[in-house]
Amino acid sequence: MLGFFSGFPDRRFPPAVAERLRGALSQRGSIVFISVWPRDYERNDGDLAGMYRMFTEQGMAFGRHSVIDCRWEPSKAVDELREASCVFLMGGHPGQQIQLIRDMGLDAAIRECGGAVLGVSAGAINMARRSLDTKESPVPYAGLGLADITVKPHFSPADGQVLSTLLEISMELPICAMEDNSAIFAAGEEITPVGSVHWIDRGEIGPFSPQSPRF
């Protein structure tokens, strides 16, 4: 299963998201988080504790949990990912995260992970085949290729400037614009949105649904 998350401002999974995760994460040997701040170790350790707490408070404790950053030997990081029950790409700076993944050679291990792969904000952006970080550039870049789902996290329909940018980009690339506390789950051919997710395609915006013309 893949899970694309926009963001959780109160650091808690909404009930519908937590229920879906409990069903998908029946095996919980280990969860491995991937940092967006490769050398900010103190911040990474604090974010690890906070994000792992989101799982434990919903009754989803894992046998072990860790965060991959520049402290890891690449070969050990690859082994940790291949054995993981869940890989979670953290939020923050998309460019630094994808660079860390490529510098350490983690791409294949993430794609071949036998467990769930989840991403929030920057992590959700980087899971796509065509990733888009509108804060840096309107031009898509090559993501991890886990799914052909290009997301814009933290979307607000009231933000006219962002919406105008997305409408223009959507002439070439359809976008799933996700409000906070929303999610998109993908398992095989089944795609399930949770919360407020918008579909922006060919200069038009509407509600996203599994029946949306997608990719």
For the chain, list the domains and their CATH numbers: 2-129+142-147+180-195 (3.40.50.880)
Give the tens place of pLDDT for each residue, 155-185: 999 999 999 999 999 999 999 999 999 999 9
pLDDT digit string (tens) for 51-107?
A: 999 999 999 999 999 999 999 999 999 999 999 999 999 999 999 999 999 999 999
Is the separation of the CB atoms in 151 and 125 below 8 Å? yes
- In Å, how far from its chain's centre is CA 199? 17
In this structure, are residues 70 and 99 in contact, taking their beta carbons and an 8 Å threshold?
no
**How large is the average pLDDT for residues 35-45?**
96
Distances from the Cα of 140 to the Cα of 125, 143, 154, angstroms: 10, 9, 18
Predicted TM-score of the model (pTM): 0.95
* Phi, psi for residue 111 in degrees, rounded to 5: -65, -30
User: What's the farthest any 2 CA atoms get from each other in the chain?
Assistant: 46
Residue-level pLDDT at 213 = 47
